[in-house]
Amino acid sequence: MLKFLLRPILIGLATAAVILITVPSLRQDLLHIESEPNAENMEDVQVSFSHAVHRAGPAVANIYSRQYVEGDRLKLKTQGLGSGVIVSDKGYIITNYHVVAQADQIVVALQDGRVSSAQLVGTDKQTDIAVLKVEMNNLPVIPQNSERKTKVGDIVLAIGNPYNLGQTTTFGIISAMGRSSVSTDGRQAFIQTDAAINKGNSGGALVNTRGELIGINTASFQQATDLETYGISFAIPYPLAYKIMTKIIADGRVIRGYIGIDGQDMNAVAARLLGIDHVSGIIVLSIAEGGPADKAGLKEKDVIVSIDDKKVLNSQSVMEMIIELRPGTTVNFEVLRNGKKITIPVTIEEDPKD
């Protein structure tokens, strides 16, 4: 009887050990469970995210944008409020474009009490990103991990300065990824969360339970649409924000590649309508007159299946690929036209919207 009871227990313990060994993140997550020194049962165990806030909080600064008083260039008034995230010990801070767009002077207040004016390195209106720089020593830098993948259901914390109350942390989960319907051009993919983001949180940090930066808070759904809603907020994914920052630091602005087409993802229905077997790629719906695609000879109803031998999955992947190319670069588009494959070289130009 004893052997009969011991066997499943031992098998269960062995399975748990294997899982903890092969999935290190489970071991790390367990470290976030804190208990009282004399805890004797589960009622005394407390789940806390104080470790994450302790790591990330000092690197989230208050941002105040100031303007000259009309008719008096000697007086300044504070006209904007937001937050910013210190991402480098060299003094670089990421915030939102809309936080500093109208500023004549930008003031940064750290959580340790230090205050400094900031230099505006550059902005990118399309992604709502601005990069600031402060000349200060011993800056707290927010933890960053580019290898960490964010998933729907992950617990997140939004840190910022809502309504100038002082640094505040709100709690939620990742509700969705890749939300593009609320962006100005319908292309930028936001992180959607139910962590509260209010006026003053813009430009602040969205972090995971390890205190690592995963996004730059930008707006609530109400701010984006003027609808009365709760529990729907958005953040710019950290990889995109970091990429935009490096471009701004390098060139003073973001230089995007451009070909001048509007496309639709290919699917089985569209393939049948066009009378082709290919179901991957994008269909060219329209071409900007005088743009690179027009000059190269691309036509409406062409199906783009690859670019420089890289398979085209959807219109989003094409846009991301083209944006990263420097103007003047020539790439080969493999296109299906009237059931035949042809190769068309296209020379990338700079996006005129920039």
Which of 83, 128, 175, 183 is an active site residue? 128
Which of 183, 202, 233, 315 is an active site residue? 202
Cα of 22 vs its chain's centroid, Å? 29
98 assigned to active site = yes
154 assigned to active site = no
SS3 98: helix
Cα 236 from Cα 212, distance rounded (Å): 14
What's the burial of 329, exposed, middle or buried (CB within 10 Å: 0-12/13-18/19+)? middle
Which of 83, 98, 124, 315 is an active site residue? 98
In the block, which residue shows the tokens 């993802």? Answer: 265
Element containing residue 40 per DSSP (H, E)? none
SS3 303: strand
The answer to whether the beta carbons of residues 179 and 232 sit under 8 Å apart is: no
Cα 119 from Cα 255, distance rounded (Å): 21
CA-angle at 230, arms to 225 and 231, nearest 5°: 105
Cα 133 from Cα 294, distance rounded (Å): 41
CA-angle at 239, arms to 61 and 49, nearest 5°: 55
In single-letter form, the type of residue at position 90 comes to: K
In single-letter form, the type of residue at position 91 comes to: G
User: What does DSSP assign to residue 140?
Assistant: -
- Which active-site residues does the annotation give? 98, 128, 202
